[in-house]
Every structure is written in C-alpha cells, then in structure tokens.
C-alpha cells in the first residue's frame, strides 16, 4: 500500500516487499543504491544562516531510503522523474536512493539501524517512531531550517501531522502522508441488504443493526469484521475506544485507561455482535489482510480501515474501486490517526540538511508536484481520488481536492460521507505495539469465547499494560 501501505506493514508485519533495483534503472535517473554519502557538502550553506534555503550552486550528496523498488514500476518511474525535475533547480545535488525493505518494513532491522547509526541521511519513519529515534540520538533538530522559504506551504500543513514530528517544540522531520480511520463498506452488500451505501452507519448501534441485515443475506456473508491477532486486535480496540471518547492510556502516559465503562461498552458490543447476533462470522483470530480479502470477495459488509486499504484491494486482490465506500468512524468522538514521515540523520552537515529539506519539500509537501501530481498519477495508472493522504488545510487543501476530483480514477463521491464529516484524529498510545499485543487477548477472548468474562479480560489486560508502561 504505497508509502501508506508501508505504514502498516511495519506496524502489523503484514507484508515483505521485493527490493531488487536494477543498476540500469538507477543509471537512467542519476540515482544510486550504493548508499555512498559522497561529500559532506562543499557549498556555503554550512556557514550561512540555517533559515536560508539551499543555495542552488551547492554541491552535495544525500542518501535516502524507501525509494520504490523495481517491482513498483510506476512509482519508481515517478521517483526518477522527480529526481530529474529537482535537479533542474539543484543541479549539484546528488540523490542516492536506497530501496532496502528492512529500513522501511521490519522493526528489528529499523531498531538495529538506529543503534548502529547506519541510517541514511534521510530515513523513513512512522508517526509513532519519534521517541525511539530520539532515544538513539538518531534525528537532527531541523527547527531552524524549516520555514516558509524552505517549505513554502508550511502554514497549510495540518498541525496535528507536524505535531507527530515534534518534541519539546523542536521539529525532527517532514511528513509524507497521513491517515484517519473510518468505516469501510462494501456498497454491493449494502444495497442487497436494503441499506443506503451513501449513508454508512454513524453510531455503533447503527453498525450493529446494519451488520445483522447484511449477515442475513446468508451464504457465509458477515456484516462486520474485526481483528484479534498479530497486534491488530489491540490496534482496533484502541480505535473503538477513541471513537467513543475513551482512552487506552491516561494523560500521564503511565497508566492504562481502558478498564472503564467505555472499554466495557466496546467489549460488550463486540461480544453481542459475535454471539447474540451472529453477524461477525465464525472465523476469528484475523489479522491485517484477512478482512480485506473478505470484503473484496463480497463476504464482508464493513470494517474499520484507512482509505488506502481500497488501493491494496484493487491492486493486489483484483477488486473494483466502485464497490467500496467509506464513512467516518462510528461514534465520531475521535479517530485513530497515523502516517509516515522522513527524518534527517543527526550530525550531518548543514548543506546536507538543507538539501534533504529541499528534496522532501519538492517530493512530498508541494501541491501539484511529486506525490501530489495527480495528472501524472492518472496517466501512470495509479489511484487518484482517495481522500488520504491529505496533509493540507486552507487554500492548499481546496486546490489539491479539486485536482484529485479532476483526475480521479475512482468514484470520489463514494467517500463523501467520510470527507464531509471529519473526525478529530488522535495519535496512537505510547508503547503502542506492546499495548496492542496485550489488547489482542481482550479481542480474541471476546470473539472466540461465548462465555468470556469481560471484566476479567479487561482487568488482566490493565495490569499487563501498566507493567509495559512502567518500563518506559
């Protein structure tokens, strides 16, 4: 799932991508997979005010990971094109792209890279990675380098997104994409069940009612699906807690907060749907990828997801864009938000920092350029029209939204309920993966045991999460 697909792969360990990148392709665009950092910068940037953008005359080489692999031909083509376009303004900047998947996808290798200080100059991270990166002195404080000269649309970037890259008021990177979870629906099954696909359920009571109607179609169709394995169950339990205004960890970050009336409401509702309504299907212990397969084959009516799941189902599972739609997360108090960033390695030269920011700005934070060139994306048969990633506010959002609609490759109106009813985003909790692993036990207990003791499941999980938080 594009960069957003990478976003969940390291989080839930769903996929390993091929990473072979031919020297021919690299030579064609002037990039290199060798990872050679080249010189440390020979321009005047190191002596100049860091607030001044990169001098186009500066000669410098920067290494960047998560360049698209050869298997992603269209994305790699666009990367190469963008390097060439970037070099028109900065002819002396060499972009050394790397496509080693372990730097993007595998938590142990990412951690090992940080500890060994072997990350490239510009390295890929998720919203939740900042504490780990800073614990290893891995990222440069770029606060002084980022302003409306070096990143002209800075004021239009969602401050919640930028907030994921800040600690104590200091900025440590730039975002590439973001997501907020909503309710993904199968429009075909909604229509067959007599439901309006343009008005997805807005409350959890509505979800339960709709799920029963969809399951009533028979033929092994489930109305609503949930995860309960590989940390994804805890991830979705967290999302449901947020949707009702609850929390998984308290404001101090040191104590579990889900063993309360909201947590019990989430658990009891899921248990009732699974056992009283029989609307969730008999196959459980599902993880990322399982629900996507079910909904893509018209065996599932709805589940919580990010918009980029649709791209995965179309590109990898052969589904049709028009078969899916999306509404805001039921409950609508908050929704789990996440995304991806690039950070800049601690200790590199000022010229390298400036060149890195210039590249990231061109590729990832400029409306109509780089990843936001929707005309090109359509021509290259890549998806256009999903509501996310969308970093923008104000006039930039209006301009980008109009371009997405103009060059859409899918029915954008299917996501109208989602886009017209934005829900505040809430970040994942500290120690997210460890907490999710514990909360998997709550989800699996609810969904596999008709006689589950919900109070005991929540109490046990609370004790275990408190132990996890005590080790910070």
For the chain, domains (ranges, CATH) are 2-178+339-406 (3.40.190.10), 182-336+426-470 (3.40.190.10)
The C-alpha atoms of residue 97 and residue 410 are separated, in whole angstroms, by 31
Q: Which of 419, 362, 421, 422 is nearest to 385 (CA)?
A: 419
The whole-number pLDDT of residue 48 equals 66
Above pLDDT 70, what percent of the chain? 88
Q: What is the pLDDT of residue 13?
A: 37
- For residue 105, the model assigns a pLDDT of 57
| pLDDT for res 221 | 98
For residue 4, the model assigns a pLDDT of 36
pLDDT at 237: 98
Q: CB-based contacts of 378: which residues, under 8 Å, 6+ apart?
A: 384, 407, 408, 409
State in Å, rounded, how far the first CA of the chain is from the last one. Answer: 32
pLDDT of residue 346: 96
- Tens digit of each residue's pLDDT, the chain (472 residues): 333 333 343 344 333 333 333 323 333 333 433 334 444 444 443 456 899 999 999 999 999 999 998 888 999 999 999 999 999 999 999 999 998 765 565 677 888 899 999 999 999 998 888 999 999 999 999 999 999 999 999 999 999 899 989 999 999 999 999 999 999 999 999 999 999 999 999 999 999 999 999 999 999 999 999 999 999 999 999 999 999 999 999 999 999 999 999 999 999 999 999 999 999 999 999 999 999 999 999 999 999 999 999 999 998 999 999 999 999 999 999 999 988 999 999 999 999 999 999 999 999 999 999 999 999 999 999 999 999 888 999 999 999 999 999 999 999 999 999 999 999 999 999 999 899 999 999 999 999 999 999 999 999 999 999 999 998 6
Helix axes 261-271, 454-470, angle to 10 degrees: 130
């Amino acid at each position: 799932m594009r960069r957003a697909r990478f976003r969940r792969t390291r989080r839930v360990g769903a996929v390993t991508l091929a990473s072979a990148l031919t020297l021919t392709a690299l030579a064609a665009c002037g990039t290199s997979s060798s990872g050679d950092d080249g010189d440390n910068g020979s321009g005047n940037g190191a002596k100049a005010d860091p607030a001044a953008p990169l001098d186009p005359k500066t000669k410098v080489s920067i290494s960047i990971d998560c360049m698209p692999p050869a298997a992603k031909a269209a994305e790699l083509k666009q990367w190469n094109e963008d390097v060439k376009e970037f070099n028109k303004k900065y002819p002396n900047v060499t972009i050394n792209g790397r496509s080693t998947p372990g730097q993007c996808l595998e938590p142990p290798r990412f951690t090992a890279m940080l500890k060994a200080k072997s990350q490239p100059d510009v390295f890929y991270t998720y919203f939740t990675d900042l504490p780990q990166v800073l614990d290893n002195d891995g990222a440069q404080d770029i606060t002084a380098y980022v302003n409306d000269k070096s990143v002209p649309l800075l004021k239009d970037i969602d401050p919640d997104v930028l907030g994921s890259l800040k600690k104590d008021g200091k900025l440590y990177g730039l975002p590439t994409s973001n997501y907020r979870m909503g309710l993904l629906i199968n429009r075909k099954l909604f229509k067959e069940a007599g439901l309006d696909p343009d008005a997805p359920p807005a409350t959890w009571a509505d979800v339960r009612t709709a799920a029963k109607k969809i399951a009533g179609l028979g033929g092994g169709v489930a109305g609503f699906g949930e995860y309960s394995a590989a940390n994804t169950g805890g991830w979705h339990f967290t999302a449901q807690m947020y949707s009702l205004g609850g929390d998984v960890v308290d404001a101090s970050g040191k104590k579990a907060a889900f063993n309360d009336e909201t947590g019990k409401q989430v658990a009891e509702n899921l248990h009732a749907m699974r056992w009283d309504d029989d609307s969730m299907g008999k196959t459980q212990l599902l993880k990322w990828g399982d629900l996507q397969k079910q909904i893509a084959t018209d065996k599932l009516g709805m589940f919580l997801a990010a918009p980029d799941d649709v791209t995965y189902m179309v590109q990898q599972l052969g589904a049709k864009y028009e078969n899916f739609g999306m509404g805001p997360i039921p409950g609508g108090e908050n929704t789990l938000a996440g995304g991806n960033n690039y950070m800049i390695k601690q200790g590199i030269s000022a010229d390298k920092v400036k060149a890195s920011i210039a590249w990231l700005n061109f590729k990832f934070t400029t409306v109509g350029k780089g990843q936001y060139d929707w005309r090109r994306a359509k021509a290259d048969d890549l998806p256009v029209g999903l509501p996310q990633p969308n970093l923008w506010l104000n006039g930039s959002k209006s301009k980008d939204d109009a371009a997405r609609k103009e060059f859409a490759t899918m029915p954008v109106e299917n996501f109208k309920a989602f886009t017209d009813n934005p829900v505040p985003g809430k970040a994942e909790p500290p120690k997210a993966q460890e907490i999710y692993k514990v909360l998997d036990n709550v989800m699996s207990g609810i969904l596999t045991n008709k006689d589950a003791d919900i109070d005991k499941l929540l109490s046990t999980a609370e004790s275990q999460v408190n132990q996890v938080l005590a080790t910070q």
